[in-house]
Amino acid sequence: MSHKAKAYILPFGQGLENVCTEETRTFINEHFDAVWNTSNQPYSHEQMAHILEDAEILLSSWGTPKLTPDLLQKASKLRYVGHAAGSVKGCLTKDIFAHDIKVFSGAPRLALSVGEYCLTVLLALLRRIPQCSSAVKQGAWWEIPERNQGHELTGNTIGIVSASSTARAFLQLLAPFKVKVLLYDPYLTEEHAQKLGVQLASIEDVMRCPIISIHAPSLPSTDNLIHKDLIQSISDGAILINSSRGSVLDEDALLKELQTGRFFAALDVFKKEPIIQDSPFTKLDNVLVTPHIAGHSVECFKALMLEIAQDIQRSSHNEPTRYEIYERMWEVLA
C-alpha cells in the first residue's frame, strides 16, 4: 500500500485483549490508519454502515457484528476482512467474494492448538493417565487392572475423519511417532494424500482403527456422519477423539456404546453446549470431557490478530499469504 489503509478494529474490551497484545497494537498502528473501538460495546448496524463508507480493512473476532449483504453494498472501499477467530461463516456470507474483498481467518492458527489438544488427550488415554491417577487417589498403587495398562503411540495405527486444517496440524505432531494413518475425506485426492503421508480409506475402515480422531466440519453433508452402525463398529479398547463438532456423530449411540466401557473417548464438543450439569458423559471413567477448549490456549489467542494483520500486510505487497480464505473453499469450511 502506498498509503496507510483505513483499518477498523471491531473487538473491544476483554474480547480485544484476548486476541491483541501491545505488540499487535504497535504493528497495526504502524502499518495501518487504525481506528479502535473505544465504545466498550459492539458497533450497531447503523454504525457499521457508517464505518464501511471509508473502511479499507476490517479486523473482527468473536462477538463482532456480522457483515451482512446490505452492509457490503456500502463497502465500496473495503478490500480486506481479517477474522481473528475461527470460522468466518458466523461473521460474513459468501456474497463477500463478489465484491473483490479478500478474506482472512485465524482458523489455521487455532488448528495448531487443536492438534496439540488431540495429541495430549491421545497420549493421556493411551497410557490411561486419568484412570491411574484416580486409582492412586483411591489408595491403589501397583494394583492396576489389565484394562488400565498403558500402550504406546509409536508405530500405532490412527484413523482420521476429514483432512481439515486441524487434522493436518495433528498429523504434523504425529510424525515423530511413525504411525500409520488411514484417512477418510471424499474431497482429498490420492496425490494430496501422498503429500500428507496418509492412506485414503473408507469411513468404515477408519472407524475400525484402534485410534480414531474426528476433524470433520459442521456441514449438511457431515450431519450424523458418524452414525450408529459406525459407532458400534469401533473396536474394543479403541480411543475416539472428537474435537470437531458434536453434530457430526450420533451422540445417543455413542453414549450407549461408551456406557458398556468397551472403548475410550475424549470429547471436546457436543450437539448442545454447554452440556447439562449431570450429563451421563461426565459419569463415565472411560471418557475425558472438556468444555470446547481444544483450540483455546493463551499463546494461540494472543497470536490471532497479529498474524492476521501481518497476513493482510503481506497480501498488500503481493506476497504469499497463510490465512487467506478463497471462494472455492467456502462449501467445505467449518
Q: What is the pLDDT of residues 66-108, one digit of tens each?
A: 999 999 999 999 999 999 999 999 999 999 999 999 999 999 9
Q: Is the pLDDT of residue 1 over 70?
A: no
Q: Write out the residue range of the structural domain in which residue 95 sits.
A: 6-105+298-332
Give domain status of residue 222, yes or no.
Answer: yes
How many folded domains does the chain comprise? Answer: 2
113 and 96 in one domain? no
Domain assignment present for residue 197? The answer is yes
Note whether 116 and 97 are same-domain residues. Answer: no
- pTM of the model as a whole: 0.93
Evaluate if residue 144 carries a pLDDT over 80: no
143 in a structural domain = yes
Which CATH number do you get for residue 127? 3.40.50.720
| 81 and 24 within one domain | yes
1 occurs within a structural domain: no
In a domain, 240, yes or no: yes
Q: Average pLDDT in the 132-144 region?
A: 88
Mean pLDDT of 175-196: 97
Share of the chain above pLDDT 90, in %: 93
Q: Answer yes or no: do 87 and 192 share one domain.
A: no
Together in a domain, 194 and 302: no
Is residue 157 a part of any domain in this protein?
yes
Residue 233 sits in the same domain as residue 255? yes
- Average pLDDT estimate for 177-199: 97
With cut-offs at 50, 70 and 90, classify the pLDDT of residue 2.
low
Instruction: Indicate if 131 and 146 belong to the same structural domain.
Output: yes
Please compute the mean of the pLDDT values over residues 116-139 and round it to a whole number.
95
| Residues 266 and 320 placed together within one structural domain of the fold | no
Three-state DSSP string of the chain: CCCCCEEEECCCHHHHHHHCCHHHHHHHHHHCEEEECCCCCCCCHHHHHHHCCCCCEEEECCCCCCECHHHHCCCCCCCEEEECCCCCCCCECHHHHHHCCEEEECHHHHHHHHHHHHHHHHHHHHCCHHHHHHHHHCCCCCCCCHHHCCCCCCCCEEEEECCCHHHHHHHHHHHHHCCEEEEECCCCCHHHHHHHCCEECCHHHHHCCCEEEECCCCCHHHCCCECHHHHHCCCCCCEEEECCCHHHECHHHHHHHHCCCCCEEEECCCCCCCCCCCCHHHHCCCEEECCCCCCCCHHHHHHHHHHHHHHHHHHHCCCCCCCEECHHHHHHCC
Question: pLDDT at position 148, please?
Answer: 85
23 and 160 both lie in a single domain: no
Residues 156 and 178 in one domain: yes
